[in-house]
Structures are given as structure tokens and as C-alpha cells.
Structure 1
Amino acid sequence: KEIVKSGLVDSFFGNLSLRVGDTMLISQTAASLDELEDALEEVPLEGSSTVALVASSEMPTHLRVYQCSPNRVILHGHPRFSVVMSMYCETPCELEGKCHLRCPEERSLCGAKVVPGEIGTGRYAIVNTVPEAIRATGSAVVISHGVFTAHRTDIAEALKRMVEIERCAKLRYYKIVTGREIEDTESGPCPD
């Protein structure tokens, strides 16, 4: 419920998963994140399941993160400022308009790697970019899509990280738009 209350997703957009032993519990497609009691699917970590039909479309990405890291919690949301700032790049590029698939520029937002990728399991899919970013920084901002955060044990820590990324994205956005630093007296400066 906190991910919805914090404005990091609309009620139906985003997902979460929990690693429990050799299985993953993941929210269903179009599940309301503030009402998940009967909207979780159990998926074996080795991927031998047919629940992909009802589980979140990001299920393969969640699976890959669990297979290559000790994390036990993953949150995914579409915070407004993070999505907007994921598309902001000062480097001219021959791939302009296709950056969401193959951005060659290494960037970060509040310490989270900004990565390209599309939904699914194809060549340019987030299943190939998000897990490495999470392994490196505990979070990933997918260009033009959203934020993934993970934690070894605590869903509250994953949420806290997503809130921090969105806060920093908002401050960076206003700095670009207004041309001046915006003071955040509650939380202090952003990491980058």
C-alpha cells in the first residue's frame, strides 16, 4: 500500500515480488498494489511454471534478478519524475529515438543505473539490463519506463530507495527547468 500512497505508482501500475525459498511470489498483471491479498502468484525460481499468463509482465526480469543475486524483495514502479529524467540525456546520439532500446550512454540517477530495455525477453529486453544494474547498485531506472529497487531482506528498504530516487529526480528536473538548485531541507542533497 505504501508504494501507492507515496505516489510512486498508480494503483494498477507497477509490481512487487518476494523470494521465499526456491519460489517467488509476484503480483498479477493489473493487480491493484494496494490490495494484493489474493493477487499474488507463486513461481518456481527455475522458471518452470505456466503462471506467466497471469503474473506481471516483468516476471522474467524478477526471476533473473533472484537467480543472480541474494535479493529477496523487488519493487517496480513508474514514478513520474524518474521516468521523465530517465529520458533526459545531454549527449547527442545517433540512436536518438531508440535510446529506450539501446542507449550507449552510461548514466545514473541518484546512484541508480539508468538502463535501456523493453518489456519481455527479446534481445533488447529489460531482463537483460535490469538484473546487472540491480546487482551493481540495488536499483535500476529503465529509460522511459520506470524504477526497479531490490533489497536482501526488507521491503521497506526497497520502498525507501524508490522514494529517494524519485526525490532526486524531482530535484534534478526542477534544477534543469528553473536553472537553479531547489532546496530540500528535509532530506539533503542527492548523491548525483
Structure 2
Amino acid sequence: MNEIEKLKKEMIKIGRLIFQSGLTDSHGGNISVRYNDYILIKKSGKMLGTLTEEDIVVTTVEENPELDKTASIELKVHRNIYKKLPEVKAVVHAHSPYTVAVSLTTNEIIPLDSEVKFLLGTVPVLSAKQVISSNEVAEKLPELLKKCKIAVVKSHGPFSTGKTLEEAYKYLSAVENSCKIISIVKGMER
């Protein structure tokens, strides 16, 4: 098995975990990895929880109209993260319900739990005029990801990074758990 086949299998595994963990809806979210000058990314419209190897596009870090045409509509965001942060090897994006809900009420997520506070500190929230497949998000998000391994696009969801897909998944899951805690505490204060 070559390296690209291994990466595709890892994408399938992590995509399934993201969906099974309740971190995104049936067709929401996307996942990618960087391998040398290539990006492997979920095809547009495919379900993250049931990916197959055929549902993954191999394109290049530089724009490639022929290879890009079936890729996730968030390719421009993933691509710019890889260009601006060469140490990043994996990006996951989801529509995590508690994280999205908390993002609607704040410009940064301040964890109440010691685990995420220690792991990540304050998580930035990006406000943009257009949030889906947005040039503005593609331009601004890498700057936030220099400060924290995960950032949330207000009303749209988190983009998490790592040296591996598992690392990016860990931050995605941790922030969602932290946002559940924030929501529970706010509910108890009423």
C-alpha cells in the first residue's frame, strides 16, 4: 500500500468518527490532508461518515482547475491554510452544533473546563460576510490558526488543524465538548 492509499484510509476512518461523534450533519463538513505538493480532500456533496476512496480527490497545493472541479467547495480555505502554514498536514471542518451555537454569541470561545483551557486556551471566532466557500475566510482563517490549532467561523463551524488527521480530530472533539459544558453552565444559570 502506498502513502496516498494509507492517507485515504485514514481520511475514511476519521470522517466516520467525526460523523459518529455527532460533530457534523450527514453531508456537512470536509476533511483533507497534505502530502508533499498534493492535497487529498473530500469530494463535494459526499457524506463524511461514509467516505470511500473514490470520494477523495487528489489535487495540488497550487490551483489546478482540472483536478479541483469535483473537490469540496471549501478547497480554497484548506488550500490557503496549507500554503500559509506549511507545518499543517491535516485540516478538518465540521458543523459541530454546540460549537456553532456558542460561536453565535461571542468573538472567542473561552473554555470553562480545565482540559481544553490547558490544551488550546482561548479559541478564536471569525466573523465574515460570507462564510461558506468564502475568499474572506480563506484569507483570514490561517492568521487565526497561527495562534490556535482550531478556529471557528461564526455560524458555520470549526476548522481544526494538525500534523495528523487524528490530532485535528482531537481538537475538533475537544472544543465541541467544551462548548457543551459552556451551554450546560449557561442553562444552569437561568
TM (norm. structure 2) is 0.79
Q: How many residues align?
A: 161
Cα drift, residue 16 of structure 1: 0.2
Residue 75 of structure 1 is aligned with which of 92, 98, 111? Answer: 92
TM (norm. structure 1) is 0.78
Task: Tell me the secondary structure at the aligned position of residue 78 of structure 2.
Answer: helix
Which residue is 1:119 aligned to? Answer: 132
Deviations 1:24-83 (A, max 9, x none): 001011111122221111121011333443211110000000001110000000110000
Which residue is 1:49 aligned to? Answer: 65
Task: Tell me the secondary structure at the aligned position of residue 12 of structure 1.
Answer: coil
Residue 148 of structure 1 is aligned with which of 150, 159, 166? Answer: 159
Cα drift, residue 121 of structure 1: 4.1
Amino acid at match of 1:23: Y
Whole-angstrom distance in 1 between the partners of 2:84 and 2:17: 27
Deviations 1:118-159 (A, max 9, x none): 22344xx2112221111220111110001110002x211111
Residue 62 of structure 1 is aligned with which of 78, 97, 113? Answer: 78
Which residue is 2:105 aligned to? Answer: 88
Q: Tell me if structure 2 keeps the 8 A contact 1:109–1:169.
A: no
The answer to whether residue 188 in structure 2 is matched with residue 175 in structure 1 is no
Amino acid at match of 2:165: I
Amino acid at match of 1:132: E
Whole-angstrom distance in 1 between the partners of 2:26 and 2:76: 22
Amino acid at match of 1:34: G
Whole-angstrom distance in 2 between the partners of 1:109 and 1:77: 19
Residue 19 of structure 1 is aligned with which of 31, 34, 41? Answer: 34
Whole-angstrom distance in 2 between the partners of 1:45 and 1:167: 32
Which residue is 2:118 aligned to? Answer: none
Q: Tell me if structure 2 keeps the 8 A contact 1:109–1:141.
A: no
Divergent runs of 4+, >6 A: none
Task: Tell me the secondary structure at the aligned position of residue 56 of structure 1.
Answer: coil
Which residue is 1:92 aligned to? Answer: none
Task: Tell me the secondary structure at the aligned position of residue 65 of structure 2.
Answer: coil
Unaligned residue ranges in structure 2 (runs of 5+)? 1-15, 112-121
The answer to whether residue 46 in structure 2 is matched with residue 31 in structure 1 is yes
Amino acid at match of 1:46: E
Deviations 1:135-189 (A, max 9, x none): 220111110001110002x211111111110011111112112218xxxxxxxxx
Amino acid at match of 1:54: T
Which residue is 2:172 aligned to? Answer: 162
Unaligned residue ranges in structure 1 (runs of 5+)? 90-105, 181-192
Task: Tell me the secondary structure at the aligned position of residue 137 of structure 1.
Answer: coil
